[in-house]
Amino acid sequence: MTHSSSSLKIFLPFKVDHLIRLGNNNDGGYIVHFPSLQNADYLLNYGVGYNVEFEKDFFKATGLPTLAFDPTLKSFSLVFEKLKKGQLIPFLRHLKNYSEWFFKERTLKRYKIQFVQEGISDKNSGEYKSLGYHFSKYDLHDKRIILKIDVEGSEYPIFNDDKIYSILPNAVQILMEIHLIEKNIENLIDMMNKISKTHSLIHIHANNHVGTFKYHGKDVPEAVEVTFLLNEFLPEKIYSSSSYPVAGLDQPCDRLKEDISLDFFY
């Protein structure tokens, strides 16, 4: 299916009050709907990336536990890969994070964070499991969750698997970084339309580490951070008239670059 520029309206958030920022300043922070956090039982975070500031802030705000999934943090082969490619600075940074993680992991219990050395996929294989697998393993089918996903482009196969949409009504909020948009724009619009059957987009922010591309004459960001809210928590659907990025909430992912203004959804 080929989409027109009008399809981009799926990226226009709906108006909602009481949004707050959890996690790091700059890269690593996400915007959440504060009141509905109290209706969740767990945070499921896929793609920790050595950074647990969001999970810590979530615990401080709610007192609720986190299941934090990432199969890469204890893999020295990924660290060594940087050195083999001659990427000295990334190698040293990754080596530092790798070394510190073993100490950091010991501190997670005080924030009710359980680290799991697995990732998310559309199929179960090795260290990668489906959302349905984890729901069964951790007895979550009658629980409500906050679902956070930052998996560097692997979000597409996950959401192309129709089985995930039967689980999404358990998610009070979905927080996701979406990558490689230029290559996947048609797929992404379909994906957003499927998610919109149960959830409403309430926030969007461009990742300024990567730029924009042209789609039907509009400047569309190559990566965005989005927040969806379960429809039952948004009884009235009115499109937002805010400017994006939102002053006081959003911060540039790369603090040395200007944030990307968004108007492609109008």
Confidence of residue 85 (pLDDT cuts 50, 70, 90): confident
- 263 within a domain of the structure (yes/no): no
- 260 within a domain of the structure (yes/no): no
- 113 within a domain of the structure (yes/no): yes
Mean pLDDT of 59-63: 97
Whole-number Å distance between alpha carbons of 250 and 30: 8
- Looking at residue 75, what is its pLDDT? 73
* Mean pLDDT score of the chain: 91
pLDDT digits (tens, 9 = 90+) for 98-114: 677 788 888 999 999 99
- 250 within a domain of the structure (yes/no): no
pLDDT digits (tens, 9 = 90+) for 115-173: 999 999 999 999 999 999 999 999 999 999 999 999 988 899 999 999 999 999 999 99
- 252 within a domain of the structure (yes/no): no
- 103 within a domain of the structure (yes/no): yes
Residue 117 and residue 78 in contact, taking contact as beta carbons nearer than 8 Å: no
- Looking at residue 88, what is its pLDDT? 73
- 255 within a domain of the structure (yes/no): no
- Number of structural domains in the chain: 1
CATH number at residue 219: 3.40.50
Non-local (6+) Cβ contacts of 157 within 8 A are: 121, 122
- Looking at residue 80, what is its pLDDT? 56
Enclosing domain of residue 81: 5-233
- 229 within a domain of the structure (yes/no): yes
